[in-house]
Amino acid sequence: MTRVLLVEDNAMNADALGRLLTRRGATVHHVAEGLAVSAAARAFAPQVILMDIGLPDIDGLEVTRRLKADPELSAIPVIALTAHATAQDEQLARDAGCCDYATKPVDVKGLQEKIGRLVGA
């Protein structure tokens, strides 16, 4: 089972995506605030992090930069989740350290394929 840390402030989006990923065999842990991500990642040891970019307390790009600067967490792949679908937005996510990018509403099958490539599943 793939361990996925889902960082999403919208409870409905988190619930829906979490359920879909769980049905497809993932173990999903959810946090709603960017400042909670590092502690959650240490406790849950995810194989991949799905990072909403538009978080209320600190944006997902900054959270990703902090993860990538932390030697204990920097190897965890981060996939950006956002409603913004421009090439510039994707480049900003990659520059922050995201290894992939998915737009909302999320294509779960496509996201699962991305996760599988990243974790070797």
Look up the domain containing 12 and give its range: 3-119
Report d(CA 40, CA 82) in Å as an integer: 21
User: What does pLDDT average to over the chain?
Assistant: 95
pTM for the whole structure: 0.96
What CATH number should be reported for the domain holding residue 36?
3.40.50.2300
**DSSP states along the chain:** --EEEEE-S-HHHHHHHHHHHHHTT-EEEEE--GGGHHHHHHHH--SEEEEES--SSS-HHHHHHHHHHSTTTTTS-EEEEES---HHHHHHHHHHT-SEEEESSP-HHHHHHHHHHHHT-
Domains contained in the chain, number:
1
Q: Please identify every stretch of the chain with a pLDDT value under 70, giving residue numbers as ranges.
A: 121
What pLDDT is recorded for position 75? Answer: 98
